[in-house]
Amino acid sequence: MTQQQQEADDWVALMHGPDAETHREAFEAWRSEPRNAAAYARSAEAYAVGSSMSPARVEAMARANEEKRAKTRWGLATAAALVLVAGGALYVQSLSDETRLAQSPNASEERELADGTKVILTSGAKIETRFTPERRLVILTSGAARFEVAHDASRPFTVIAGRSETTALGTVFEVDLRKGAPRIRLVQGLVEVRSNSGGAVLRLEPGQSADVPAEGPKMAGMMASPVPTKLLAADNLPLRSVLDGANKLNAKPIRLADAALANLPVSGRFDLADSGALARKLGTAFGLAVDERADEIILAKK
């Protein structure tokens, strides 16, 4: 094993430990070097399947890392992370209710996550989920996946794929790792795309795509034919985005009498296939007047 790969292994152990955030700044500085980032990605993937290792193997790795502590500046970080192993408990195993692995062969496979989010895995996709009371984190290490995110306003839903981080704001979206730089395609709702190496934060709208190369996320154009989705889980999604999705599915569109209403934050689960029922539900939620006409529905302030 090269020194660089050993450093990556040490960082994986540390950043999956309970004190990860205290080392975040140093870790990001180290990972900003492309070769380090590539080594870390390899180690992270190996970590994802680490729960299959025997306790004896884990303890042997711990002893080997401990012996090297005096020889490398990453030794202290390794020792701290491996304290969890010394007591006979592997950190991956301790997350049995919070971390789940899933992988798909070349054919598509649909999974439902613990929070109710639906995921379609394709092209040998492999994901790891880490759900806590504060957040929902999914790590995609290969292939491509489509996410229909379950509504939970108290826990943000983020997908990490390579250097990309995509946070859903009531959404159906796809993440593709098959061509090097991660590509994110938004089908419905709203997502924010960022890179852990810096650059601008992009907010995508339905039909838009973004690539996330080393220099940061950039727009990649529109999808040829966004897939309409009848159910929407919104988490502070602007009202205009909800109506855009509904109007693509219905012959009778919902309009706003006042453009200022477009930014009202919407949360909850909605069936977009019935524009009349949706308009009445939104009218009740925001105290708006619902004027249903022959060819359109108008939402207005009372």
pTM of the shown model: 0.48
The total domain count for the chain is 3
pLDDT tens per residue across span 18-60: 667 777 778 777 777 767 777 777 666 555 444 334 444 444 4
**Domain match, 8 and 44 both:** yes
205 and 109 in a single domain? The answer is: yes
Domain stop point among 187, 222, 257: 222
Does residue 76 sit in the same domain as residue 188?
no
What's residue 205's pLDDT? 84
- Residue span of the structural domain in which 251 resides: 231-301
The residue assigned the tokens 């960022």 is 194
* 215 shares a domain with 141: yes
Last residue of a domain, which of 168, 202, 222? 222
CATH of the domain at 251: 3.55.50.30
Query: Which residue ranges in the chain fall short of pLDDT 70?
Result: 1, 3-4, 16-19, 34, 42-107, 170, 221-229, 231, 233, 235
State whether 184 and 82 are in the same domain. Answer: no
Q: Do residues 104 and 218 share a domain?
A: yes
CA distance 29 to 36: 10
**7 lies in the same domain as 115:** no
Q: What are phi and psi of 240, to 5 degrees?
A: -60, -35
Same domain, 193 and 120: yes
Q: What is the pLDDT of residue 27?
A: 78
pLDDT of res. 214 = 84
- What's the rounded Cα separation, in Å, for the pair 97 and 109? 22
Looking at the structure, do residues 212 and 127 belong to the same domain, yes or no?
A: yes
The two tokens of residue 150 are 């379950």
Residues 184 and 113 occupy one common structural domain: yes
d(CA 10, CA 31): 12
Residues 166 and 261 in one domain: no
Q: Return d(Cα 163, Cα 242) in angstroms, integer.
A: 29
Of 74, 94, 114, which one is at a domain's C-terminal end? Answer: 94
Q: State the CATH number of the domain containing residue 157.
A: 2.60.120.1440
103 and 90 share one domain: no
